[in-house]
Amino acid sequence: MNDVVYQKQQFGQKVGLGRSPALLVVDFVNGFTNPEILGGGNIPDAVAATKPLLTFFREASLPVVFTRIVYADDGADTGIWCMKVPRLRDLTEKAHASQIVDALAPRAGELVIRKTQASAFFGTHLAAHFIGQGIDSIVLAGCTTSGCIRASAIDAMSMNYRVTVASDCVGDRAIGPHEANLFDMGQKYADLLGGADIVSALSRSRSGSSDAAGSTT
């Protein structure tokens, strides 16, 4: 994309990863990896790219949170979003389509947020959880780039979290919306870094903090 106008207007500034990051894995569930249900595109590739990022956060004892879209069996909590996308109604608590993919299965002690809207923050206790954990920055992985990732990034930034979208760890059912929304988020709402670059940056940061903590005068 031609980003000359954005550069001239000083969009796309970097905000950095912060001192206390959490990994937020949004809606990597079976239904969004299956092109016959709600998935397709590059979402399976994004799942694979997320595995080493998730491993790093776990080994570093950094907070990890997952989200699922979950509706009541009787549809009592569905709304306009389900009018636009009726198949979302199938994502009930016990439905296979609503379960987090085996490759990224949550471990004991890792919070799983149920949500009924695109943003991980809307109508959930996620913000309160992050406040309790002292989180100041969020690394986003998941799907879809143009939907739940974008909505979550905007809400997180609106609450003054530093947001980094792991660019190869997010996916969409079509590449056009994926690329356009990555670009737009990078200009307005979040930093963009590949998963490996995030791991490298956090490793350097944590190593520097450890060196400083261990130094004496």
Q: Please, are residues 195 and 202 in contact by the beta-carbon 8 Å criterion?
A: no
The Cα 43–Cα 99 span in angstroms is 15
CA-based torsion, 43, 49, 55, 57: positive or negative: negative
Residues composing the chain? 217
d(CA 27, CA 149): 9
Distance of CA 188 to the CA centre of its chain: 16
What is the rounded distance in angstroms from the CA atom of residue 147 to the CA atom of residue 149? 6
Range list of β-strands (E), 5-116: 21-26, 64-69, 111-115
**Residue 31 phi, psi dihedral angles, 5° rounding:** -65, -30
Distance, CA of 112 to CA of 139 (rounded, Å): 16
| Catalytic residue set | 148
124 dihedral zone (left: phi>0; alpha: psi -120 to 50; beta): beta
With CA atoms as reference, report the closest residue to 52 among 182, 161, 154, 202.
Answer: 202
